[in-house]
Amino acid sequence: MASLISYSLRNLLTRRLTTFFTAGGMALVVFVFAAALMLAEGLRSTLVQTGQPGNAIVLRKGSKSEIESVVDRAAAPLVETRPEIDRAADGAPLAVRELVVLMGLPKRGGGTVSNVVLRGIGPKSLELRPQVRLKAGRLPRPGSTEILAGESVARRFEGAGLGERIRFGLREWTVVGIFDAGATGFNSEIWGDCDQFMSAFRRSAYTLVLAKLREGSAGFEPFRQGIESDPRLQLTTKPESVFYAEQSEMMAKFLRIMGISLTAVFSIGAMIGAMITMYSAVAGRTGEIGTLRALGFPRRTILRAFIMEALLLGLLGGLVGLAAASGLQLFTISTMNFQTFSELAFGFTLTPGIVFLSLCFGLGMGLVGGLIPAVHAARIKIVDALRTV
């Protein structure tokens, strides 16, 4: 079947200014579209990676986030002695009790206060989270007022850098180490000795118990049944990765809905732009259309040529918008997660799915904008068209 791809392409190249404006409008829309999806994806992947497969987190029944949870001192040993929990070389269970609180800390340079997660850790905490690596300084001595700061906290908050001091709970705390937890939520936390934190914050109960299961993910179901059926425990458990992934749901949904509804409205403007351009392309080339038809090109070839031109325009817009959006991967956003009420740093993440969706979106805008003008082009009567030359 005859096609006129190079004809469509040449026409776009010839009318550079118009092509630039039209594709530019669509590129902006695709940029916003891709950026919103990348942000939601960045948030999601950060929180999904926070959890370690094979770990289970034990919280109070009904708790949706760590700060709502309470695990009594009496309950913690009952959890730790469950047989499903893996053992260390010395025979001790691979489980740890932790305290999680929120604290308002001033940011560097502006003085605005944001909530940071403080995590009181136990001796096994680092072993259970192999993704957390010490990047600078050293580990705190157990039982001291020394603390570790996550990389992005150290960078963004006053007094959280290596060797600096923060005052809370009527004491001074010294940052002796900076840890890097990769692209996870832990990077936005401060870690210190659990018992020290409990006395500083006058807490008599833990927040959670984290355990490494003997049979990995397979061991989770018996562990959950064991915890939930124990009448002495008002506790529940989730795989750690599932728990953190759920922390991103509301915010990611918000970002996605906002991004998509915004771009839906914007795209109307861009599609109208494409329609104007394509109408003018058809009007300006009526004579050519007549000629092509006289030469024997059927209506559908004309229809296809103009749709192809609009699609190329959309593709160009999509590619430019996507290229600009992919540059966002260099940036990190830090904002409050509505669900945990604490600050979280995360990046823009581009996935093949987002690339595909963005290009489809660009092509879709081109198609919608070009369809009606293309149908008009194909419907022109040859004799009338030739008369306009």
Partner 1 sequence: MLTFIFILKNLSRHRLRNALTILGIAMSVLSFGLLRTTVDAWYAGVEASSSTRLVTRNAISLIFPLPIHYAEQIRGVEGVTTVCAGSWFGGVYIDEKNFFPNFAVDTRTYFDLYPELRLAENQKADFLHDRKGCVIGAKLAERFGWKVGDQVTLKGTIYPGNWDMTVRAIYHGRDTHVDETQLLFHWDYLNETLKKTSPSRADQTGFFIIGIDSGDHAAEISRAVDQRFANSLAETLTETEKAFQMSFISMSGAIVTAIQLVSSLVVLIILAVAANTMAMSARERMGEFAALKALGFGGGYLALLIMGESLAIAGIGSALGCALTFPAAAAFGSAVSQFFPIFQVSHTTVLLQGIAALAVGVAAGIAPALRASHVGIAQAMRRIG
Partner 2 sequence: MNGPASPAIELRDVSKSYTRGQQTVAVLQGVSFRIEPGEFLALMGPSGSGKSTLLNLIAGIDRVDSGAILVGGTDITTLTEGELAYWRSRSVGFIFQFYNLIPVLNALENVELPLLLSPLSRRERREHARAALALVGLADRMDHRPGELSGGQQQRTAIARAIVTDPDILVADEPTGDLDRSSAKDILDLMAGLNESLGKTIVMVTHDPRAAERAHLVRSLEKGLLTNADLHLHS
Interacting residue ranges for partner 2, rule: CB under 8 A: 2-4, 6-7, 10-11, 13-14, 287-288, 290-299, 382-383, 386, 389
Is 169 or 226 the residue whose CB approaches partner 1 more closely? 169
> In whole angstroms, how large is the CA radius of gyration of the chain?
29
C-alpha pair distances (Å), 347 with each of 136, 184, 256, 389: 22, 10, 15, 55
Is 88 or 113 the residue whose CB approaches partner 1 more closely? 113
Residue 236 CB, nearest approach to partner 1 (Å):
12
Is 14 or 204 the residue whose CB approaches partner 2 more closely? 14
For residues 149-188, which are near partner 1 according to CB under 8 A? Answer: 168-170
Query: Which partner, partner 1, partner 2, none, binds residue 168 by CB below 5 to 8 Å per kind?
Result: partner 1
Residue 379 CB, nearest approach to partner 1 (Å):
15
The verdict on 309 binding partner 1 (CB under 8 A) reads: no
Q: What are phi and psi of 206, to 5 degrees?
A: -80, 170
The verdict on 319 binding partner 1 (CB under 8 A) reads: no
Is 138 or 379 the residue whose CB approaches partner 2 more closely? 379
The verdict on 313 binding partner 1 (CB under 8 A) reads: no
Residue 46 CB, nearest approach to partner 2 (Å):
49
Residues in the chain: 389
Residue 22 CB, nearest approach to partner 2 (Å):
17
For residues 219-278, which are near partner 1 according to CB under 8 A? Answer: 234, 254, 262, 265-266, 268-270, 272-273, 275-277
Integer Cα distance of 293 and 299 in angstroms? 7
Is 141 or 381 the residue whose CB approaches partner 2 more closely? 381
Query: Which partner, partner 1, partner 2, none, binds residue 68 by CB below 5 to 8 Å per kind?
Result: partner 1
Query: Which partner, partner 1, partner 2, none, binds residue 11 by CB below 5 to 8 Å per kind?
Result: partner 2
The verdict on 12 binding partner 1 (CB under 8 A) reads: no
Query: Which partner, partner 1, partner 2, none, binds residue 2 by CB below 5 to 8 Å per kind?
Result: partner 2
Is 22 or 55 the residue whose CB approaches partner 1 more closely? 22
What secondary structure, in 3-state letters, does the chain show? CCCCHHHHHHHHHHCHHHHHHHHHHHHHHHHHHHHHHHHHHHHHHHHHHHCCCCEEEEEECCCCCHHHCCECCCHHHHHHCCCCECECCCCCECEEEEEEEEEEEEECCCCCEEEEEEEEECCCHHHHCCCCEEEEECCCCCCCCEEEEEHHHHHHECCCCCCCEEEECCEEEEEEEEEECCCCHHHHEEEEEHHHHHHHCCCCCECEEEEEECCHHHHHHHHHHHHHHCCCCCEEEEEHHHHHHHHCHHHHHHHHHHHHHHHHHHHHHHHHHHHHHHHHHHHHCHHHHHHHHHCCCCHHHHHHHHHHHHHHHHHHHHHHHHHHHHHHHHCEEEEECCCCCCEEEEECCCCHHHHHHHHHHHHHHHHHHHHHHHHHHHHCCHHHHHHCC
Query: Which partner, partner 1, partner 2, none, binds residue 268 by CB below 5 to 8 Å per kind?
Result: partner 1
- Considering only 279, 315, 360, 375, the residue that binds partner 1 (CB under 8 A) is 279
Q: Which residues bind partner 1 (CB under 8 A)?
A: 17-18, 21-22, 24-25, 28-29, 31-32, 39, 60-64, 67-68, 101-104, 112-115, 168-170, 201-202, 204, 234, 254, 262, 265-266, 268-270, 272-273, 275-277, 279-280, 333-336, 338, 341, 343
